Amino acid sequence: MVMSAPVPSPLDVAAQLLTLLTDSTTEPRPDQQLEALTLAVAADLPVLLWGEPGIGKTAALTQLAQALELPLTTVIASVHEPSDFSGLPVVGDDPARQGVPLAPPDWAVRLVRAGKGLLFLDELSTAPPAVQAALLRLVLERRIGSLQLPPGVRIVAAANPRASAADGWELSPPLANRFVHLQWTHDHEVVVRGLGGTWPRATLPRLDPDRLPQAVALARRAVCGLLSVRPGLVHRLPENETGRGGAWPSPRSWEMTLRLIAFATAAGSSRDVLSLLVRGTVGDGPGLELLVSMDRMDLPDAETLLADPHAAVLPERGDLRQAVLDGVVAAVRRRPEPARWDAAWTLLVRAVETGAPDLVVVPATTLASLRREGWNIPPAIEALAGAVSLSRRADRVAAAVASGGPKSEAGR
């Protein structure tokens, strides 16, 4: 007698369909947001993802945990009491002698047993102030009651802007200053490929062992160099409530910034990724100042260029090249000598030959004003005359067009 196969129930068929819909794969794909997130996770710094509802923050954390082979523990901060994070008091037989210990929640115990994991604190901006205060010790010291989370646990949180959060609160300044704030936005191509079953692959950055000492030295020199000349940036609490709930500079956040610079340098990350991390730690203004100062750290010395102008290698980026040329003219102003004046003109010629001629207009005009009586006019000036004249004519045309003037200005 042939037994017929059991007919699957409608729910069994539905389960099969759901399994097929959730089946997906990953691919290596450049993603600055994801790279910044994995760098901060590797640096063992708490990260806070800001984004509108439905943008994919939770999905990104789920995929990150799978890629890093870390068990994911999700805690909805807004539905918990302060005691859930500070520990629940347990009264023993003799509290007067033994005290009252604080028992940790079950999810914290599971993380300790696993020895590693990704703790995801969701809906942080809808947690009331009392819960945010209880989270301070968890985020900074990794302690819940009397329980210490193991070093293998990483903390990532997510929040919606107050305008789009249900009964949202601004983050308290002490809690906000403990996070690396990353703005999470969607990429159209990533979403389309992901819905088709292929998502970007999250991987921890590959740190070059040979670059570790140099990375630490660079990070310390960058942060300490900026704060030495800008002491007001060491600690600057924003005046408005919204600013205090985001990234702002403090000794704590500068220490985090230093760590992120070292990790990004050792990993060979791009400047765009470093910008996301730095601005997400100390804020846009101080972060951009730091990035600019780091750019200038690697600029060639003006005196070295003047000593051998024919062998000079100028930066490719226009803003950095402009800074170098301005520095050369400033060096001649500080110590005006005929040979140095001639060398500066040679450098300006090289700048015209290898880049945009408009960058030399201001330095050339300033350098010409430094000429002393008896100094011969170098032949290099003739090579610059056409470029400077053309650049000025283009400026006049642009100004005439902007003011609605006659286009015939181009022929004057």
Q: Where are the domains of the chain?
A: 28-88+102-200, 209-297, 302-411
pLDDT for position 391: 46
Cβ–Cβ under 8 Å, residues 138 and 144: yes
Amino acid at the residue 239? E
Beta carbons within 8 Å of 135's beta carbon, 6+ residues apart: 77, 85, 121, 124, 127, 175
**In the block, residue with structure tokens 């007067």:** 96
The pLDDT of residue 333 is 93
DSSP state of 209: G
Pairing label, strands 152-159, 116-122: parallel
8 A C-beta contact, residue 77 and residue 139: no
Which position has the token pair 């409608």?
10
Tens-of-pLDDT digits for all 412 residues of the chain?
566 777 888 899 999 999 999 888 888 888 899 999 999 999 999 999 998 888 878 878 888 888 888 999 999 988 888 888 877 777 666 666 666 677 788 889 999 999 999 999 998 888 888 888 889 989 988 988 778 999 999 999 999 887 665 567 888 999 999 999 999 988 888 888 888 888 888 788 899 999 999 999 999 999 999 999 899 999 999 989 889 999 999 999 999 999 999 999 999 999 999 999 999 999 999 999 999 889 887 788 889 899 998 888 888 888 888 888 988 999 999 999 999 999 999 999 888 888 888 888 888 888 888 988 888 887 767 767 665 554 454 445 445 545 655 444 444 4
Distance CA 339, CA 372 (A): 12
What residues does 59 pair with on adjacent strands? none
**pTM assigned to the model:** 0.75
What was the pLDDT predicted at 385? 66
- Per-residue pLDDT at 412: 40
β-sheet bridge partners, residue 147: 144
Supply the pLDDT for residue 94: 66
Q: Which among 76, 75, 73, 80 has a CA at the least distance from the CA of 134?
A: 80
Pairing of strands 47-50, 25-27: unpaired
Q: How far apart are CA 307 and CA 33, in angstroms?
A: 44
Q: What is the third-level CATH fold of 28-88+102-200?
A: Rossmann fold (3.40.50)
Q: φ, ψ for residue 351 (rounded to 5)?
A: -65, -40
**Separation CA 3–CA 409 (nearest Å):** 95
Q: Residue 181: beta bridge partners?
A: 48
Which pLDDT score is estimated for 166?
57
Distance CA 352, CA 364 (A): 11
Residues 6+ apart with CB under 8 A from 280: 36, 180, 181, 182, 183, 247, 287
- Report the pLDDT value the prediction gives residue 14, as an integer from 0 to 100: 95
User: Using CA atoms, how far apart are residues 304 and 125, in angstroms rounded to an integer?
Assistant: 53
Of the candidates 266, 271, 264, the residue with the CA atom closest to the CA atom of residue 213: 266
Which pLDDT value is given to residue 384?
73
Pairing outcome for strands 143-144 and 147-148: antiparallel
Quickly list DSSP for 65-113: HHHTT--EEEEEGGGS-THHHH-EE---S-HHHH---EEPPHHHHHHHH
Inter-CA distances, 246 with 34, 58, 277, 306, Å:
20, 20, 13, 45
Residue 374: which H helix or E strand, with range?
A: none
Sign of CA dihedral 344, 350, 353, 358: negative
Cα–Cα distance for residue pair 81/380, rounded to 1 Å: 75
Distances (CA, A) of 132 to 246, 297, 379: 14, 39, 69
Give CA–CA dist 121/76, Å, rounded: 6
Helix axis angle for 251-267 and 271-282, nearest 10°, is 170
CA distance 202 to 65: 9
From 204, 304, 215, select the one nearest 260 (Cα to Cα): 215
Nearest by Cα to 145 from 153, 137, 157? 137
Say what the pLDDT of residue 93 is: 64
| Backbone Cα Rg of the chain | 29
